[in-house]
Amino acid sequence: DIQMTQSPSSLSASVGDRVTITCRASQSISSYLNWYQQKPGTAPKLLIYAASSLQSGVPSRFSGSGSGTDFTLTINNLQPEDFATYYCQQSYSAPPTFGGGTKVEIK
Amino acid sequence: QVQLVESGGGVVQPGGSLRLSCAASGFTFSSYGVHWVRQAPGKGLEWVAFIRFDGTYKNYADSVKGRFTISRDNSKNTLYLQMNSLRAEDTSLYYCAKDRVAVAGALYQFDFWGQVSLVTVSS
């Protein structure tokens, strides 16, 4: 199975900050990388698919980049509603696997 | 709008069985692959199983293979997960989720998720 490693596991940031979360795959996954946002008590929400494609309805302050083994999720101008846990997930091969999550907290 | 409404969760003893259901609406259910994904309380996400749009292909996580069975009834727009020989480590929130695009195989891009079913395995 492909292992996905996210860093950091948590971070503190302020409204208006730029936040960067990284995700590393244990082998090359081309651009088969997706990002999800999960708020407490709710289901995950797809933000980015295929490494850099913005899911419909997701604000443009979210962006994704990378290919191969290293990927980044960037949130520009962090908003109060963005405080949540973020997961990366590879869709290159079965079983699809998730990173351990990054919790974005209010500073 | 797309809706996935789950039911069937509960408390079961180790070794017991439970069946989850996921009723879909707002999209052409029979055209999409669908999945089960679970999350142990306070933990990360784990994919559990996939079924092709027509039910002819299924695959499972190793952790549930041989114990869980995914199925679907396209006439009822409903997805199922039959869980047998349950273990304490199966205690989780279970989500159904659909693939983002209607393709022949599995896309593994989960664009809509159900509202969750809690399964607790405990004596």
pLDDT at B104: 80
What rounded mean pLDDT belongs to chain A? 97
Which of B22, B27, B110 has the most A C-beta neighbours within 10 Å, making it the best mutation to test the interface with A? Answer: B110
pLDDT value, residue B106:
87
Percent of chain A beyond pLDDT 70? 100
Res A8 pLDDT > 90:
yes
Query: Measured between CA atoms, how close is B59 to chain A, in angstroms?
Result: 8
Reference A23, options A106, A80, A100, A92; nearest CA is: A100
Mutation choice for A interface testing from B6, B109, B115 by most A CBs within 10 A: B109
Query: Is the distance from CB of B21 to CB of B6 less than 8 angstroms?
Result: yes
Paired strand residues for B23: B5, B78
Q: Is A83 on the interface with B (CB under 8 A)?
A: no
Per-residue DSSP letter, B13: -
**Residue of chain B minimizing CA distance to A39:** B42
pLDDT at A17 (0 to 100): 97
Give me the pLDDT at residue B103, please.
86
- Alpha-carbon gap, residue B2 to B9, rounded angstroms: 21
pLDDT of amino acid A102:
98
How high is the pLDDT of residue A107? 86
Q: Which one-letter DSSP state was computed for residue A83?
A: -
Interface contact B110-A36, CB threshold 8 A: yes
Which tens digit of pLDDT belongs to each residue from A55-102?
Answer: 999 999 999 999 999 999 999 999 999 999 999 999 999 999 999 999
Give yes or no for a contact between A70 and A51, defined as CB atoms under 8 angstroms apart: no
Ranges in chain B, pLDDT < 50: none
C-alpha span between B70 and B39 (Å, rounded)? 17
Neighbours of A19 (CB within 10 A): 19
Nearest to A51 by CA among A70, A37, A38, A75: A70
CB contact (8 A) between residue A94 and residue B106? yes
